Structure 1
Amino acid sequence: MKLGRFGRMTAASAAAILLTSMMSSPALAADHTMYTLDDNPGGRVEFTEYGDIIKLCDVQADGHYVVLGVYDEFGNGWWDYASGNGNCITHRASQGGEYNLYESTEYKFTISLMETGGLDYEFRNVAFWLNDH
């Protein structure tokens, strides 16, 4: 079967799209993941070293919100929170400031749940992760 000019262009476009999609890199998986310490974890943090991507998620609608603290080896740091079932927030080095983590530095990550209006952190989990990318 002979293809006309339009048919050849369409076939070439389809082949280019297919080749591009096959060559695309897969989504980067997090280098580190941690959950709150409750029986059915209500919070999750993921850290991808390349690009200093930190994703914090509140995974349950249970009246709690998830609190994250990130501290360098000198105790300098910041905290943030996510609230709501399935609500996630993401920070990246490209945002600058505190989100651009130093390379070859170990960071302390803490994740906890806090009841709305409460003062106590619950189900805290702590990990030390090296940012070496």
Structure 2
Amino acid sequence: MKHSRKLAGLATAGALAVSTLLFAPEAAAIDHEVWTADGDPGGVAWFTEHGDYVYACDMEADGWAVGLDVYWNGGSYTLSAGGSGNCDLADASEAGHNLPENAYINFRVYLHKDGTPYAYQRTAQWYNDN
């Protein structure tokens, strides 16, 4: 079961990066992030290894939604969220979302809307050792 969450509130200023400041997941520290490739990134994916937390977050109210394909040798799933500040979350407790340990996990983040899939896509690969 996927969860859609509206991330509200601002973190305290300080040493946090602006990107993390506005929309960072509250429950867990972020190990990795990848942004869409548009000039003013409209989407971001965050991955926290411990617990396999994966977030796909829409960063702008621009009519585009963010999509995220997560795939590895032997499995895959997709997340999607639309509307500024909305995120789709998956974690290890959900069937089909427990990522393999000591393996590379691939992430493809992109923007999409009717008739335009996979716009401004960017990929990343991270090693999951937790």
Aligned twin of 2:76: 77
Deviation at 1:27, TM superposition (A): 5.8
Is 1:91 paired with 2:76?
no
Deviation at 1:106, TM superposition (A): 0.5
SS of residue paired to 1:56: strand
SS of residue paired to 1:46: strand
TM-score scaled to structure 2, two decimals? 0.75
Aligned twin of 2:34: 34
- Partner AA of 2:72 in structure 1: D
Higher strand share: 2
2 CA distance for matches of 1:48 and 1:113? 22
Is 1:120 paired with 2:114?
no
> Over the residues paired in the alignment, what is the CA RMSD in angstroms?
1.6
Deviation at 1:46, TM superposition (A): 0.5
Aligned twin of 2:102: 104
2 CA distance for matches of 1:66 and 1:36? 8
For structure 1, the residue ranges without an aligned partner over 5 or more in a row are 1-25
1 CA distance for matches of 2:129 and 2:40? 31
TM-score scaled to structure 1, two decimals? 0.74
Deviation at 1:104, TM superposition (A): 0.6
1 CA distance for matches of 2:80 and 2:71? 15
For structure 2, the residue ranges without an aligned partner over 5 or more in a row are 1-25
Identity fraction in percent: 39
SS of residue paired to 2:96: helix
2 CA distance for matches of 1:111 and 1:60? 15
Deviation at 1:109, TM superposition (A): 0.3
Deviation at 1:73, TM superposition (A): 2.8
- Number of matched pairs: 105
